[in-house]
Amino acid sequence: MSIPSIENIIKIDFIKYLDNKENPISLRTKQRYLSDINYYVEHYIINSNVINGLDKFFVTRDILSFLNKRKSSTARATVMNFISFLKEYGHLTSIKYLELTDYLKSLRPTIIEKQMQFFTDEQLSFLLNNRIFYSKKDSEEARTLLPLLLILSSQLIFEQDHLIKLNWSDVDLDKKRIRNLRKDSLAYEWINIDDALCQMLIEQRQKTNFITITTPVLTYKGERLDNSKINSLLSILKRKYNLNILKTSTDIQKINRSRILQDLNNSKGATTIEIIKITGLTKNTQLEHALEEYLLNEYSKMSSDI
């Protein structure tokens, strides 16, 4: 039995498989899958491994290495789809298919995978437009504070430490701006905020009777917000209805890099300098991850002929 070239299998058969899936896949996602699988072939496939068949295309140690090295939000989905494709097209036995899929399901997300997780525009809209589901046990304070926390993290690209340290002395409601708490000479000293966030902050301030230079903006149960309290508020988003929309857990860094990626996509990269003026260059990890994802999207378009 002759084995088609790997190039033809990917460019012809795999694309045909993706085109015929019951749930349609967007062109961008197809391009990303092709980019990911070509990376896998380039780094892990030795011709002698597949000369007599494709049952050795995926080796568990190579899958793990791939997920630890490939900086792509679609890396795991690519592997899963290609395994299913190989099975459907008769290149994998049922036993080998089950072995690989069970192994993939057993793998917890790698550090790289977590860093390259992003919310879609629809998921960001859900988080930032007060469409969150609350239960009867959630206090009015939690229902007010969680949306404010999410919007501050998005508009200011503030990480948890910034949100915790934010004092009323850092907020200028008259000029609709907030002090940039980053210690970076390249970053703006002040970040402008929109009318909606300004109004939320006005309402939040009215709840505070006595304000000094060190009075925190964000308090929960009578105390300054800390990591534990932030995690408690974010746990609301793990509830079934919210998780059905968000798909994965929510953290502040993920909101940061998702907002940056959204800006990069909407401006075709033109907002990069403006974002740097907010984040600075001293510690801009989420900007780096968002740029990697944006550029990978762009490169996959150029290298794909679909």
For helices 272-279 and 285-303, angle between their N-to-C axes, nearest 10 degrees: 160
Residue 235, exposed/middle/buried by CB under 10 A (0-12, 13-18, 19+)?
Answer: exposed
Q: Which of 203, 60, 232, 208 is nearest to 139 (CA)?
A: 232
How buried is residue 23: exposed, middle or buried, by Cβ count under 10 Å (0-12/13-18/19+)?
Answer: exposed
Quick one: tokens of 267?
């401006």
Long-range contacts, stretch 153-156, CB < 8 angstroms, 24+ apart: 153/252, 153/255, 153/256, 154/124, 154/127, 154/128, 154/255, 154/256, 154/259, 155/191, 155/193, 155/194, 155/197, 155/259, 156/180, 156/191, 156/193, 156/278
Residue 260 burial (C-beta neighbours within 10 Å; 0-12, 13-18, 19+): buried
Is residue 86 exposed (0-12), middle (13-18) or buried (19+ Cβ within 10 Å)?
Answer: buried
List the pLDDT tens digit at each of the 306 positions of the chain: 444 578 888 889 999 999 999 888 999 999 999 999 999 999 998 765 565 678 888 999 999 999 999 999 999 999 999 999 999 999 899 999 999 999 999 999 999 999 999 999 999 999 999 899 999 999 999 999 999 999 999 999 999 999 999 999 999 999 999 999 998 888 999 999 999 999 999 999 999 888 999 999 999 999 999 999 999 999 999 999 999 999 999 999 999 999 999 999 999 999 999 999 999 988 789 999 999 999 999 988 877 667
pTM for this prediction: 0.87
